[in-house]
Amino acid sequence: MAEIKLAAEPRTEFGKGAARRIRRDNKIPAVLYGHGGDPVHVTLPGHESMLALRQTNVLLNIDVDGKGQLAVAKDVQRDPVKNTIEHIDLQVVRAGEKITVDIAVNIVGESAPGTIHLVEEQTLSVEAEATHLPESVDVSIEGLESGSQIHAEDVALPTGSTLLTDPKAVVVLVTEPRGEAGDDDESAASAESPAEASSEG
């Protein structure tokens, strides 16, 4: 994955008021941390940062005063209503270093006719090289019959990734729809209720 460069500015003002002013200027407060150094507080360009973070596990090159620093976003705080980014925690990384990330599970194919699939694990936790972080992993359910299970250890991970999720964890379960049977049971139960009530009276 190619890295995305973002020009950052050192941040000297702190607190809620300062953060609001930064966001009014279409910028985002952020902090760089890791490798035993002191946290570095910066502001990032709002629009460019939001575009970059549409990608999962994107590698960022944060330019502060002409000095580039590789980092990945570890925590992105968003406004629950506007969905705008309010703050970003950036973990400093180095080429060749391995870090822990969560990658999305993408279901491909269709299970056997008359079955449905349930995704028990939306993401898998893996360890991967910081400069080659995977975004997602494909899990095929093509032709699987009811009762089939795919465990974390069955998933083919991208090259260079090591599974950290419990290998026995069920990622996908193929089963039969049960909603209709449940509705019939409820109807039968409600139909019996008046008779039971009259016999009790």
Tell me what the mean pLDDT of segment 107-130 comes to.
95
pTM of the model: 0.73
Position 188 pLDDT exceeds 50: no
Identity of the residue numbered 98? K
Q: What is the pLDDT of residues 77-112, one digit of tens each?
A: 888 888 788 899 999 999 889 999 999 999 999 999
SS3 letters across the chain: CCCEEEEEEECCCCCHHHHHHHHHCCEEEEEEEECCEEEEEEEEEHHHHHHHCCCCCCEEEEEECCEEEEEEEEEEEECCCCCCEEEEEEEECCCCCEEEEEEEEEEECCCCCCCEEEECCCEEEEEEEHHHCCCEEEEECCCCCCCCEEEHHHCCCCCCCEECCCCCCEEEEEECCCHHHHHHHHHHHHHHHHHHHHHHC
Q: Where are the domains of the chain?
A: 4-93, 100-180
Chosen CATH of 4-93 out of 3.40.640.10, 3.90.550.10, 2.40.240.10, 3.20.20.60: 2.40.240.10
Instruction: Quickly name the fold that domain 100-180 has.
Output: RNA Polymerase Alpha Subunit; Chain A, domain 2 (2.170.120)
Report the mean per-residue pLDDT for the chain: 86
Q: Is the pLDDT of residue 193 over 70?
A: no
